[in-house]
Structure 1
Amino acid sequence: MEMPITLKHKPVVVSENYENVDGRLARNTDAKGLSLGLAHANDKGKVNITAQVWRYAGENGSQDSEELPLHRVLDLSILICRSLAHFREAYRYEHLYDPQKPVIDRVGLQGDALTVAICTDNERINEDIKLFSQALSDDDEMMSERLRALSKILKDMGY
């Protein structure tokens, strides 16, 4: 499934094959993709990054709110972490990614892999990725605090 790029959430980093790794619902789910992108509602010019679960509801993706199974929350966390890692080194690329290799990573899950890639279907990707990168930079202190807390908790749990 291609991510709907005409909606207000503008995807920058996507996992378009999510239906293959959606926990117990894998290969039998309406959750077709995950994305991180630019928020549709900006606060006084501030760009916000949001996560989206893309569901197939007829002809269009749905923007309905939903309860998330815990494995999807963790899958979104994987998507976030791999994206953060990419953007730490993205300055090496003219457009903050390699257009010839937009796939950032494939994370093995459930006999398949969660693909993490730049959304090249987004017609404004070169502009949106710069805004996305700047928003990550602006929120670095807040995100780092949470990642350190999460890292400590995971280590304490033996992971």
Structure 2
Amino acid sequence: MKIPTSLKHKPVVVSENYGQVDGRFAGNTDAKGLSLGLAQWNDRGKVDISAKVWRYTGEKWSRQSEELPLHRVLDLSILICRAVAHFREAYRYEHLYDPQKPVIDRIGLQGDAMTVAVCTDNDKINEDIKLFSQALSNDDEMISERLRTLSKILKEMGY
């Protein structure tokens, strides 16, 4: 399925077969494509690049398609990596984290640091963290494949 080019987000680099590789939803997903392109929020004289997940309902392109600035996509990737690393060792804690030290990491970015922490404001955190951990474990093969691919590409790029 071809990603539309007549909408506000202007695709430049696309994956139009994303519906076939969308994790456990592959072959049965409304996320039909990914694109990197010119952001829909661009004003005259100001150009930002964004990543977009294109959703298709079967009849039309959905308003629930998501568009994110590239740095936010990378920030989400950093958050995922730190979470995966935490949960590899989380079995050491009774509640899968240390309630006295819920901060997992502080990652320096642009003069400050992104805090990665367990959300202790969630009143059902002890239940939810177990469900999260189990889901992460269930998807380990799929997530690990993508992390290995990302690692390989980053190494090829010199990072």
Query: Which band: TM-score by shorter chain?
Result: 0.5 to 0.7
Specify the code of the residue in structure 2 equivalent to 1:96: L
Residue deviations 1:95-130, cap 9 Å, x none? 000000000000000000000000000000000000
CA RMSD between the two structures: 1.4
Aligned sequence identity (%)? 87
Specify the code of the residue in structure 2 equivalent to 1:137: S
Question: Counterpart of 2:107 in 1: which secondary structure?
Answer: strand
Q: Mark the structure with the bigger radius of gyration.
A: 2
Unaligned segments of structure 1, at least 5 residues: 1-42, 44-63
Please show how residues 108-123 of structure 1 align to structure 2 within 5 Å: 108-123=108-123
Describe the shift of the 1:135–1:70 C-alpha distance in structure 2 as closer, same or farther (beyond 3 A).
Answer: same
Specify the code of the residue in structure 1 equivalent to 2:131: L
Specify the code of the residue in structure 2 equivalent to 1:141: E
Q: Which position in structure 2 is the counterpart of 1:75?
A: 75
Q: Would you identify which runs of 4 or more consecutive aligned residues in structure 1 move more than 3 Å?
A: none
CA distance in structure 1 between the partners assigned to 2:114 and 2:68 by the alignment: 17
Specify the code of the residue in structure 1 equivalent to 2:89: E
TM-score (norm 2): 0.59
How many residues align? The count is: 97
How many angstroms does 1:138 deviate by?
Answer: 0.2
Q: Which position in structure 1 is the counterpart of 2:107?
A: 107
Q: Which position in structure 2 is the counterpart of 1:135?
A: 135
Question: Counterpart of 2:115 in 1: which secondary structure?
Answer: strand
How many angstroms does 1:137 deviate by?
Answer: 0.3
CA distance in structure 2 between the partners assigned to 1:103 and 1:151 by the alignment: 25
TM-score (norm 1): 0.59
How many angstroms does 1:79 deviate by?
Answer: 0.3
CA distance in structure 1 between the partners assigned to 2:74 and 2:110 by the alignment: 14
Q: Which position in structure 2 is the counterpart of 1:24?
A: none
How many angstroms does 1:65 deviate by?
Answer: 5.7
Specify the code of the residue in structure 1 equivalent to 2:91: Y
Q: Which position in structure 2 is the counterpart of 1:90?
A: 90
